[in-house]
Amino acid sequence: MTETTAAPPAATPPPPKPRPGKPTLFDCPACGGAIKLNAVGHSVSAVCMHCGSLVDTNHKTLRLLQRAHEKLRPSVLTLGARGMLAGKKWQVIGWIEKQDTASRSTWDEFLLFNPYYGFRFLVHADGHWSLLGVVKQSVAAPEGLRSLEFERQHFTIFQEGETKVTYAAGEFYWRVNRGETTKVQDFIAPPFLLSIERADDELNVAYGEYVSAKAVAAAFGAGDRFPTPRGVAPNQPSPYTAKLRAIIKPSFIFIAAAILVQIGAIVLSDNRVLVEKQFVTRAADKEKTVVIPALQLSNELADVVVETRSNLNNQWLEVDFQLVNEKTDQSYIFRNAMDYYSGYDGGESWSEGSNHTDSVLPMVPGGEYTLIAEVDSSVTAAGQDVSWTLRVRRDVALWANFWTALALATLIPLYLGFRYFGFEKQRWSQSDHAPSWYTESEEN
């Protein structure tokens, strides 16, 4: 008897995607104008584009909910327009204009529909756009909340208040009534926005992110009449955040390297004092030449620092130096000029100038040198003597290069930080919950 093996059952094909309902036309019970429903089976109310009346499309006889006599207003986006946004194709089926009851500022909320992905809200204010979807999971958001965590993002309260529907057109999956009010809290974590609306015992949460005006215009063909963005939107991403993050780490590495190099220079430098002498310049000593011979510099290349310190008091002193190599006659010519003046004016003291100055000669070869100094001063009479000190050092760890490197390493981060702060200050200027560091300067 031959054993047979049963064939495996055929794989069950996946269920076909539901076909979108075809648009349906109805007659408005108020004016008889045609009402076109795009989200058939989803929409429960529609606003007649001819007279503005609100119609219950969920009722077999199209029950009139609110009669009006107003033609469709022009809007930024055309009802019925289709376009690709965030990788999906949407149709604009509804438009609501809302107003903040306190500030009287208005904005638009366009209802988008896709038969496979449902509904989204495209919110427009001052040329800025955000694409939001209703959040189905519960969000713990008691009134008075100032921050919350959602989708691994930390959200901060930006604004709260009462909003009112001032205009509506198109179709909606809920009943829209002009004049209805809701309490709203908007939380931001740019580019994300979390909006919480409360009406009676009902709570609705919408979550989404900022969309560029260029993307919206390209999707729905708004053309030249598309508004230019003004100011900074609550959830608009800062153009400086990514730049700051990209530059901060390299800057810290560069600064750390500069510090290590400077520490190494300090440790390894000889910092030998070759000359330290004190002189007194009198009226008779003006234009006197001082010669310091036999300065022995080590053979390697290194810097020479010539320092002068004085006790000037409403006087000036200039010393013209010449450092001459005895073997090669190579000369280094430089001047140390000092002046210091002080006094009282209007009961307040003042001062200017300095009693000390330094000259740095980089990369001076070793050998035997002579230092020649010619002194000139404002001393003209007895009793005006000036005491000054000369010190010459070899192989000194200099700080000028370090401070220059530090300035270069911090210049770009500071600039970007300044621009970032300005951008955020402009954003939070619209909020009643701005962090203190964005409001302190205005209060002061």
Q: What is the pLDDT along the chain (444 residues), one digit of tens a residue?
A: 333 333 434 444 444 444 455 667 777 766 766 667 677 767 777 777 767 666 766 665 556 555 655 667 788 898 889 999 999 999 999 999 999 998 899 999 999 999 999 999 999 999 999 999 998 766 766 677 888 998 889 999 999 999 999 998 888 888 888 888 999 999 999 999 999 998 877 888 999 999 999 999 999 986 566 888 999 999 999 999 999 999 999 999 999 999 999 999 999 999 999 999 999 988 776 677 889 999 999 878 999 999 999 999 899 999 999 999 999 999 999 999 999 999 998 888 899 999 999 999 999 999 999 999 999 888 876 678 889 999 999 999 988 889 999 999 999 999 999 999 999 999 999 898 888 887 765 554
Report the candidate in 285, 305, 308, 306 with the shortest Cα–Cα distance to residue 355.
308
Are residues 185 and 154 in contact, defined by beta-carbon separation less than 8 angstroms?
Answer: no
pLDDT score, position 201 = 75
* Eight-state DSSP code of residue 82: E
Residues in contact with 231: Cβ distance below 8 Å, sequence separation at least 6, in sequence order: 126, 426, 430
384 vs 137, 263, 285, 338, 350, CA distance in Å?
A: 88, 43, 12, 15, 21
How many Cα atoms within 13 Å fall on the side-chain side of residue 306?
20
pLDDT tens-digit readout, 94-137: 999 999 998 899 999 999 999 999 999 999 999 999 999 998 76
* Eight-state DSSP code of residue 299: S
**Cα angle, residue 107 at apex, residues 102 and 109 outer, rounded to 5°:** 125
Q: DSSP secondary structure string, 365-422?
A: PPEEEEEEEEEEES--STT--EEEEEEEEES---SHHHHHHHHHHHHHHHHHHHHHHH
Peptide bond into 190 cis (omega under 30): no
Q: Nearest 5°: phi and psi at 275?
A: -140, 140
409 vs 24, 239, 246, 255, 415, CA distance in Å?
A: 65, 21, 13, 6, 11
Q: Nearest 5°: phi and psi at 368?
A: -100, 130
Paired sense of beta strands 331-345 and 356-364, if any: unpaired
Q: DSSP secondary structure string, 129-187?
A: EEEEEE--S-----TT--EEEETTEEEEEEEEEEEEEEEEEEEESS---TT-EEEEEEE
* Whole-number Å distance between alpha carbons of 365 and 107: 75
Q: Give this prediction's pTM.
A: 0.72
pLDDT score, position 9 = 42
pLDDT score, position 96 = 94
* Whole-number Å distance between alpha carbons of 402 and 343: 36
* Whole-number Å distance between alpha carbons of 302 and 364: 5
Tell me the residue type at 104.
R
Report the candidate in 123, 110, 109, 120 with the shortest Cα–Cα distance to residue 86.
120
What number of other Cβ atoms are within 10 A of residue 323's Cβ?
A: 23
268 vs 271, 395, 396, CA distance in Å?
A: 9, 9, 9
Paired sense of beta strands 302-310 and 386-394, if any: antiparallel
- Which H helix or E strand runs over 353? strand 348-354
Are residues 397 and 266 in contact, defined by beta-carbon separation less than 8 angstroms?
Answer: yes
Both structure tokens of 94: 């509804």
- Which H helix or E strand runs over 244? helix 241-268
The CA radius of gyration of the chain, in Å to the nearest whole number, is 40
